[in-house]
């Protein structure tokens, strides 16, 4: 069993930090699994095998999302930046820059970051019959 998630002596780290590191390692592993399934699904010709792996990758999506949510709950600044980027329409890099600036700008890492201006994604609702 490896302990590669630690870059400092584990016995010097608080339990909270060790847990955080474990979930970071788990998040990485879930992302790797998603990438592996993506490749396997791209080449699999057997329909049943494809269906089985399609089901399995859904589990990895769930695991990744749960790991991410746990980590974001531990780090308000990370959560604030993620809120400005995730599930937004438009330019990802633009949202990232705006979210980082907003989270850093007022010194309050718990501030909720929302995109401003034309990046609100309101335009994406047009034509949806809402
Ligand atoms: Fe998993």
Gap from CA of 66 to ligand 1 centroid (Å): 10
Gap from CA of 110 to ligand 1 centroid (Å): 29
Gap from CA of 64 to ligand 1 centroid (Å): 7
Gap from CA of 12 to ligand 1 centroid (Å): 29
Contact 31, 64 (CB under 8 A): yes
SS3 at position 34? helix
Closest CA to 91 of 80, 99, 102: 99
Gap from CA of 119 to ligand 1 centroid (Å): 33
Tens-digit pLDDT profile for residues 21-34? 999 999 999 999 99
Alpha helices, H only, 44-75: 47-74
Contact 119, 95 (CB under 8 A): yes
pTM over cut 0.95: no
Instruction: Spell out the per-residue pLDDT of the chain, length 130, in tens.
Output: 456 789 999 999 999 999 999 999 999 999 999 999 999 999 999 999 999 999 999 999 999 999 999 999 999 999 999 999 999 999 999 999 999 999 987 544 444 444 443 333 333 333 444 4
């Amino acid at each position: 069993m490896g302990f590669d998630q630690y870059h400092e002596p584990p016995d010097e780290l608080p339990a909270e930090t060790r847990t955080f590191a474990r979930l970071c390692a788990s998040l990485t592993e879930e992302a790797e699994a998603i990438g592996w399934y993506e490749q396997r699904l791209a080449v699999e010709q057997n329909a049943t095998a494809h269906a089985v792996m399609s089901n399995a990758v859904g589990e990895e999506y769930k695991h990744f999302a749960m790991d991410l949510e746990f980590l974001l709950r531990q780090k308000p600044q990370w959560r604030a930046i993620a809120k400005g980027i995730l599930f937004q329409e438009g330019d990802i890099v633009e949202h990232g820059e705006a979210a980082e600036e907003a989270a850093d700008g007022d010194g309050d890492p718990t501030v909720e970051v929302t995109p401003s201006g034309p990046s609100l994604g309101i335009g994406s609702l047009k034509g949806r019959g809402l």
